Chain A
Amino acid sequence: MAATELSFYDRISDALAKPEGQLAISAGAKAKYDNRARAMSEFPSMEITRDRARSIRAHTLSQLDKFLAEFADNVEALGGHIFWAKDAQECNQYINEIARAKDVQLVAKAKSMLTEEISLNQSLETSGIDVVETDLGEFIVQLSGDKPSHIIAPILHMTREDVGNVFNEKLNVPFSDDPATLNAIARTHMREIFLKADMGISGVNFGVSESGAICLVTNEGNGRLISTAPRIHVAVMGMERLVPTLGDLSIMLQLLARSATGQKLTAYSSILCGPRRKNEHDGPEELHIVILDNGRSEILGSALSEILYCIRCGACLNACPVFHSIGGHAYGSVYPGPVGSVLSPLLFGDPWNPLPHASSLCGACKEVCPVNIDLPGLLLESRSQQIAKGKSPLLMRLSQWIYAITSCNPILFGLALRSGQVVSRLLAHDGWFTTLPGPLQGWSVHRDFPALAKKSFRQLWDKPSQD
């Protein structure tokens, strides 16, 4: 993924300057947050299931090599093809090669953040292949040349008027802002794509190693269509997305649906075991599963490996007050929100280093995570790794040292307090500073800062009578 020209700070300013977009985002995220809360509260033994899910993820990752090998063997035994891709380039090249060899003209795609991560669409389009996103939200994103702003709800940032305008302009249909009408237009338009596509491309929600199955969940049914109608189905799977057994899958599916949208189950959970078999009515003739590393093995070996537990439900985005304020686009990554703030610097490098700092560490994300990932802990870990590598401004390092030296020496600390009191007496008005100097002015842009008390607590302790 390429860094955008704007810095993170510029993107934040841009986002905050668009109140309608922000309103749509925070209302949408809030609705999803409430739906999740309701669905979870109705879930018997929710905490036990959550612990169980976490332990399944931990267990899988602790023996991921074994489970991957078992998964691949089973896929091949079912007549599917496995391709092991080190990075985006290897993955995209492989899919391009199949497309060329099989004379693929039209690709129907189900929503997949992983394929966004590796810019697969652009790669195929460069080879002259038509790629159509079939998830309604993702289709609108594609039509308008936009980017998804949420991993589950790609057009969370758009109002219904926005969508109406996109359809009106790009599909030459009369303007309507009625969701049902817009949906009907999309259904008709997309029908032909499904029927004619030569290749369906999807991500993988979960792979099941004991059977070699992959599971796709969609509410719209596009995941089923692209894995049924086209003669070739290509599924791109992040290497961490395995569960050992079908029983484990059933736990994950329930948590995923409840966490993502508040449903008990997604409308369609499609568990695919190899390509079309003998005497079957339909299904793809070929199934290719690309297992992608793209930096994940490095994460697996690092102190941030817990982020690989993530099942991409988006609940942490919906709970995050920072996400509510700035929306998904400001993060500049396919993975926004708390999970994206941990993942993006790991997957895409230094330009994303400010992301982990964009958190007040309020912990709302951890509270809702279906596999109980310690997101605030990982954000802290990510910050400290940056500091350990010297990736922080000199002024920051200097001030942290001065602050630490002062705080480790009570005499210096007392002196600092007294000098603060002198400065307060001289410069504060009516007990408050209205502007702060240098790097501290970020504070005073939004609020006043209190003057130091005339007598500190330690001074009052000595002479309480002066209170």
Chain B
Amino acid sequence: MKRAHFLQKVSSAIGNRTLPDQDETSTRQNTPTTADLQTLINKFIEEANAVKAETHLANDDEVAFEMVMQLLNNQTNNKYMSWDDNCLPIKNLGQRLDSVDYLRYQSTVPRDTTERTRAHIKLAEVSVGITGCNAALADTGSIVLESKPGQGRLSSLLPAIHIALLTTDQIYPTMESYIKSQPESGYNSSNLIIVTGPSRTADITQTLTLGVHGPGKLHIIIIDK
């Protein structure tokens, strides 16, 4: 169907019946009080834990690095995938992991069809994905990730374990406050992802199980610099 014809049908339907236009009332004003940072961090941790994400507090890069190492050490294999180093808050994370024999998989997927599937199958061997965050939302315990050059989507999606590195200055009280201060986030990235806890389902008799298709474990390392 032609666009013009389609839209014409819609306009005449609206004309048929004057629908109420109730906007511009701006009744909603639950503007979050500007909470202090510590309250925000505490709220974020409380909510993230409530949705079964595991949170870890680190005072500096070194402590955070140790935490990443520890989480990787618990794995059966040494393969991981991640965002590019310059997109992560821990300096030279990839380089340092490489130097202690961790194997970073190339996370750029070829555009060609056959190559693409082959790359996917290889990436499926990886057990851990490491990403940074673009923001976090305290009142829902969510982290926000933007997919853009250096920040692939699959690192937070394919492996069974997702380690997200968050700095405390990235925490916003609510989704509204985040959007208000970063309005371009809705355009800038081909995929803005709001992650609230690990992958889950309750399809079978309302019983919650984690890790259906996405990561079953979500570790958030909160770096307070």
Interface residues of A (CB under 8 A from B): 24, 27-28, 31-32, 44-45, 48-49, 51-52, 54-56, 58-59, 61-65, 68-69, 72, 78, 82, 84-86, 90, 134-137, 140, 153-155, 158-160, 163, 179-180, 182-183, 186-187, 190-191, 194-196, 198, 208, 210-211, 213, 219-222, 224-225, 227-229, 231, 239, 244, 246-247, 250-251, 253-254, 261, 263-283, 285, 291, 293, 297-298, 300-303, 305
How far, in whole Å, are A305 and B204 apart by their CA atoms in the complex? 35
Q: Is the CB of B1 within 8 A of A90?
A: yes
Which residue numbers of B lie inside 8 Å of A, CB to CB?
Answer: 1-3, 5-7, 9-25, 27-30, 47, 51, 107-109, 111, 113, 116-117, 120-121, 124, 139-142, 147-154, 157, 175-176, 179-180, 183, 185-187, 189-207, 209, 211-215
* Smallest beta-carbon distance B2→chain A, Å: 7
Contact A31–B213 (Cβ < 8 Å)? no
- Chain B residue at minimal CB-CB distance from A46: B30
B134 to chain A: closest CB distance in Å? 12
Q: Is the CB of B214 within 8 A of A65?
A: no
Whether the Cβ atoms of A137 and B203 lie closer than 8 Å is yes
Are B148 and A280 neighbours in the complex by a CB distance under 8 Å? yes
A183 partner, pick from B117, B140, B176, B201, beta carbons under 8 A: B201
Decide: B201 and A84 in contact? CB cutoff 8 A.
Answer: no
The reply to whether B195 and A136 contact each other, CB–CB distance below 8 Å, is no
Q: Are A179 and B205 in contact, CB atoms less than 8 angstroms apart?
A: yes
Assess A64 versus B10: contact at CB under 8 Å? Given A137-B203, A265-B140.
Answer: yes
Q: Which of A63, A250, A276, A302 contacts B179 (CB 8 A)?
A: A250
A-B contact count (CB 8 A): 286
Q: How far in angstroms is the closest Cβ of chain A from B218? A: 9
Q: Are A254 and B175 in contact (CB under 8 A)?
A: yes
How far is B2's CA from A305's CA once the two chains are assembled, in angstroms? 24
With A62-B21, A280-B148, A281-B152 given, is the CB distance from A271 to B211 under 8 Å?
no
A-B residue pairs, 7 tightest by C-beta: A221-B214, A281-B152, A59-B23, A301-B13, A137-B203, A55-B22, A220-B212
CB pair A270–B191 under 8 Å, yes or no, is yes
- On whether A68 and B13 interact (CB within 8 A), knowing A84-B2, A265-B196, the answer reads no
Q: How far is the CA of A86 from the CA of B9 in the complex (A)?
A: 10
What's the nearest-Cβ distance from chain B to residue A312, in Å? 16
- Whether the pair B113, A198 counts as a contact (CB closer than 8 A) is yes
Contact of A220 among B2, B13, B213 (CB under 8 A): B213
Question: Shortest Cβ distance from A117 into chain B, in angstroms?
Answer: 17
